Amino acid sequence: MRIAKMSRFECCRYNVLVDQIEKRIPRHGKRLNTVSFALDKYMSMGIYGSHKTGKTHLIEQLVGARGFRFGEMYIEKIDFKFENQAALKLLGFCPQKSGFSKVFSPRQLFTLLFMIRGVPEANLSEKLLEIAMSLDLKPYMNTKIGDLSLAIKRKVSVAVALIAYNKILIIDEPTRGMPAKERRTIWNVLRYARFCGKTIIFSSNENIECETLADLIIVIDDGELLAIGSPQYLRERYTQGFFFELKILSDGKTEEETSENLERDAENIIKFAYFLHEDSQLLQHTANIMKFYIPVEEVIYSYLFGSIEKNRRRLNIAEYIIYQAPLLTALDNILAVRTSRVTYNKPKKRRSRDYTRHLNRERKARDAEATSSSIELKAKHSWIATSSSIGLKAKHSWIAISSSIGLKACHSND
């Protein structure tokens, strides 16, 4: 449902409501690229895009670092344009660059922020231990921030945003340039924060991060909203078909017999894949492992699993897995649409072979009938033309004879 068509009651349901925020006002033309979305509690949204597509610009607009003219934004029913300070009290923000003083240690910085927040001095040690354990910062609590690595500095930035304990957490590229272990730590903390009722908005250019954290993904390019939806919806909408990976059961008393059985089973499985769809592709065949891409337009899983289970023993399949195309494929297709400026549509459904053969037979019958009728029509026309030409010649000859006879009679009278 479009946000512009929502009633006031429906708009008040959401923690964050953004309606038609523009990146810039164009100097020429009437086209205005805008972004709109609505988020509730226990939700996480990822802003996906490649490098320099306007992700950071949108994040800065959401926290008031950059303005906007045309759109509207509401934080907990508070109008961000007219009650900016009240709305900012509900936001926790983690920018790409930390900007912390290099002489402070994480312990000193966290203690200062907890005291500003109003945490009693008796509870400071407990809070410091909690934040250090959750982000695995315990070995670095007394080290100066200037001496920490980039990954640990990023953890400190996320910790500062969490210490604010606001209802809405906005993070710009939370795990950019971090090793896999440190990224997983931050992901776990953010997922726990979402579980506790926070609304999380983050930007990223990695599909794995969006798939791990986001309930909702918006894809933007140059400030234009290209697509919005859950990861599953984007896969369904912007990809086609499924992947079928299986393992053939190796049986045989000797190696030669086993290899012969594998070859025979592989041929039968390839025929079965072409039965599922005539344009199926064999992507991998290593020993007794095979992988197919089946490009069907609409997957009916009950029919699919029923067909496989019915033929599983005959095809000698030990185990198998069926999965959709990855989220990265869907996101790449969306950005490719932006590049080509062509609306992405799934290919039209192809007709079955039997139906195509039936149409071909009907077409041939119509062509044969049209050919026979044209032959009859030509014969009829040729007969009419022949008879008319014969009659015309006879008439002309009769006129010529009669005129010559009359001419001779006239000469004899003279």
Q: pLDDT at position 342, please?
A: 46
What pLDDT is recorded for position 118? Answer: 86
Which regions of the chain are under pLDDT 50? 342-344, 349, 351, 383-385, 390, 392, 394-395, 398-401, 403-414
**Closest Cα partner for 35 from 209, 219, 229?**
219
- Number of Cβ within 10 Å of residue 20's Cβ equals 17
CA triple 330-335-30, angle to 5 deg: 135
Yes or no: say if 220 and 300 are a contact pair by the CB < 8 Å rule.
Answer: no
pLDDT of residue 117: 85
Which residues have CB under 8 Å from 368's CB, separation 6+? Answer: none
pLDDT attached to residue 231 = 92
Q: How far apart are CA 124 and CA 128, in angstroms?
A: 6
Question: Distances in Å between the alpha carbon of 359 and those of 351, 362, 365, 373?
Answer: 10, 5, 10, 21
Contact 150, 156 (CB under 8 A): no
Tokens of 281: 């592709």
Instruction: For residue 220, give every residue at least 6 positions away whose Cβ sits within 8 Å of its Cβ, in sequence order, or none.
Output: 35, 47, 48, 49, 53, 54, 55, 58, 226
> What confidence score (pLDDT) does residue 167 get?
86
User: Could you give the domains of the chain?
Assistant: 3-230 (3.40.50.300), 240-324 (3.30.70)
Q: Tokens 């008040």 label which residue?
A: 12
Distance of CA 353 to the CA centre of its chain: 30
Closest CA to 155 of 143, 65, 167: 143
- Which tokens in the block code for residue 168? 């809405």
Find the radius of gyration of the CA atoms of the chain. Answer: 38
Its pTM surpasses 0.75: no
Q: Which two tokens stand for residue 209?
A: 């991060």
* Res 229: pLDDT: 92
- 175 CB-near residues (< 8 Å, 6+ apart): 154, 182, 183, 186, 187, 204, 206, 209
One-letter-per-residue 3-state SS of the chain: CCHHHCCHHHHCCCCEEEEEEECCCCCCCCCCCEEEEEECCCCEEEEECCCCCCHHHHHHHHCCCCCCCCCEEEECCEECCCCHHHHHCCEEEECCCCCCCCCCCHHHHHHHHHHHHCCCHHHHHHHHHHHHHHCCCHHHCCCCHHHCCHHHHHHHHHHHHHHCCCCEEEEECCCCCCCHHHHHHHHHHHHHHHHCCCEEEEEECCHHHHHHHCCEEEEEECCEEEEEECHHHHHHHHCCCEEEEEEECCCCCCHHHHHHHHHHHHHHHHHHHHHHCCCCEEEEEECCEEEEEECCCCCCHHHHHHHHHHHHHHHCEEEEEEECCCHHHHHHHHHHHHHHCCCCCCCCCCCCHHHHHHHHHHHHHHHHHHHHHHHHHHHHHHHHHHHHHHHHHHHHHHHHHHHHHHHHHHHHHC
CA gap 414, 343 in Å, rounded = 97
Compute the distance between CA of residue 132 and CA of residue 107 in angstroms, rounded to an integer.
9
CA distance 55 to 172: 8
